[in-house]
Structure 1
Amino acid sequence: MSDAILQLEDVESGYGELQVLWGVSLQVKPHGMTTLVGANGAGKTTLLRAATGSISAWRGRVRFDGEDVTRLSAHDKASRGLILVPEGRQLFNDMTVEENLELGAYAKRARQKFSTSLERVYNYFPRLKERRDQKAGTFSGGEQQMLAVARGLMADPKVLIIDELSLGLSPLLTQQLFGTLRELKSEGLTILLVEQNLHLALALSDYAYVLAEGRLHSQGPSREVARDPEVRKAYMGV
């Protein structure tokens, strides 16, 4: 029996008649960070969507916390603690910071920890606490990304999946958000990260998977993947 908290086994999926994923398998071990890297169009976001249930896995299996959850809805998976912070943030722009955070804690298991979780995310992101009554749509891109991550944490995740944490952000904000991920990881949160900044992602994560054209290209401990000449040439510009 695998000790992974999240397992994808030979997953195939896509959109309409367009197949994007071809038999992809990966494992996410608890209390660490796994990163998924690859070029634009490699299928990374599609894989996350198939894992979390926003699209169906055509073939293969998704196991989470010891159960086969392949056919469960995105809502059911989220209520069990499989939480996605999507690319593009998808905040409710006309709602305040605190209203967005309240929506993150909609599941029963999260509602029971609401006050504790709210205090926790405000400790991670003091700027959000300062602006808790401000509408999300008035925020900068970096502040919105902070709020998106905070909303994911409000859901009391067993696995927090983050799709493109630093997309469109300044180097300074990127460093700040990676600092928060480092804290979360040190506290034992399980994280699956898709990230364009491979230097930071591979430096912080424990294990990495490289996706190419919808198939698994390579995998291994992040330090080894970072030294792989093919990966360095294709994705790191080295």
Structure 2
Amino acid sequence: MATALDVTEVASGYGEVQVLWGVSLRLEPGKLTALVGSNGAGKTTLLRAVTGLLPAWSGSVAFAGRDVTRLPAHARAGEGLVLVPEGRQLFADMTVHENLEMGAFSRRAQPRMRRNLERVFEMFPRLADRRGQKAGTLSGGEQQMVAVARGLMAEPAVLMLDELSLGLAPRLVLDLFESLRRLKREGLTMLLVEQNVAMAMAVSDYAYVLAEGRIHLQGEARELAKNEEVRKVYLGV
């Protein structure tokens, strides 16, 4: 079976500062893959390079068997390579409903907008109750729900989530991770960047550990969670 996303020897960074040094990873269709690592390891930089928000200095990104390394970010998103960014990045003065509509900007997503609105409101009932409320007035957890729902409105073939649990109360974290389990059961291919390593390993099929801009370890998530080095450095046990 072809991979959903194939990142090969990607190097990238900011200005003259190199952050990624030949990073390779693969996403299998319908699987949830975790990318974990310490602050400054290069996780967000990798997502930005994969989505086209940063240029790849070298290496390649193949999406659904097609080389998209030189494709602009909006074109990658329009074909289903969708990022839920760290910090949510919502339109604060727009309503929940309007933010969700913005997620369905592409020709791929527009025909399914009504169906996907029903889907995300069923998945996140709290958003249905607040559909007319401005996004900037929501709680942090509710804003994160909007960010995930907006990503789903884009009709993703691959959904990438950057720091899903950051700054959220434990109860909301559990709710959001249960949503990931549901999406995985539905067959959505996902890449999860997450500092809550224990939670990430618990829901994922496969995992990569990024350290100093390089893949340091990889393997089945449950097996990697038992790795002594991972447990000491990332789980604190």
Give TM-score, length-normalised by structure 1. Answer: 0.99
Alignment of 1:141-160 (within 5 A): 141-160=140-159
How far is the alpha carbon of 1:200 from its aligned partner? 1.0
Name the residue aligned to 1:64: 63
Q: Secondary structure of the residue that 1:109 maps to in structure 2? A: coil
How far is the alpha carbon of 1:59 from its aligned partner? 0.3
1:86 to 2:85 alignment: yes
- Count of residue pairs the alignment pairs up: 237
Structure 2 CA distance for aligned equivalents of residues 33 and 119 of structure 1: 24
Name the residue aligned to 1:187: 186
1:220 to 2:215 alignment: no
Work out whether residues 4 and 28 of structure 2, in 8 Å CA contact, stay in contact via their aligned partners in 1.
Answer: yes
Name the residue aligned to 1:113: 112
Structure 1 CA distance for aligned equivalents of residues 204 and 151 of structure 2: 19
Question: Structure 2, unaligned stretches of length 5 or more?
Answer: none
Name the residue aligned to 1:77: 76
Q: Runs in 1 of length 4+ with deviation above 2 angstroms?
A: none
Q: Secondary structure of the residue that 1:202 maps to in structure 2? A: helix
Alignment of 1:97-136 (within 5 A): 97-136=96-135
Q: Secondary structure of the residue that 1:71 maps to in structure 2? A: coil
Structure 1 CA distance for aligned equivalents of residues 188 and 27 of structure 2: 12
1:168 to 2:155 alignment: no
Alignment of 1:29-48 (within 5 A): 29-48=28-47
How far is the alpha carbon of 1:132 from its aligned partner? 0.3
Work out whether residues 84 and 147 of structure 2, in 8 Å CA contact, stay in contact via their aligned partners in 1.
Answer: yes
What are the superposed Cα offsets for residues 171-198 of structure 1, whole Å, 9 maximum, x if unpaired? 1000000011111110111110001111
Work out whether residues 2 and 64 of structure 2, in 8 Å CA contact, stay in contact via their aligned partners in 1.
Answer: no
How far is the alpha carbon of 1:29 from its aligned partner? 0.5
Give TM-score, length-normalised by structure 2. Answer: 0.99
Question: Structure 1, unaligned stretches of length 5 or more?
Answer: none
How far is the alpha carbon of 1:86 from its aligned partner? 0.2
Structure 2 CA distance for aligned equivalents of residues 4 and 225 of structure 1: 21
How far is the alpha carbon of 1:3 from its aligned partner? 1.9
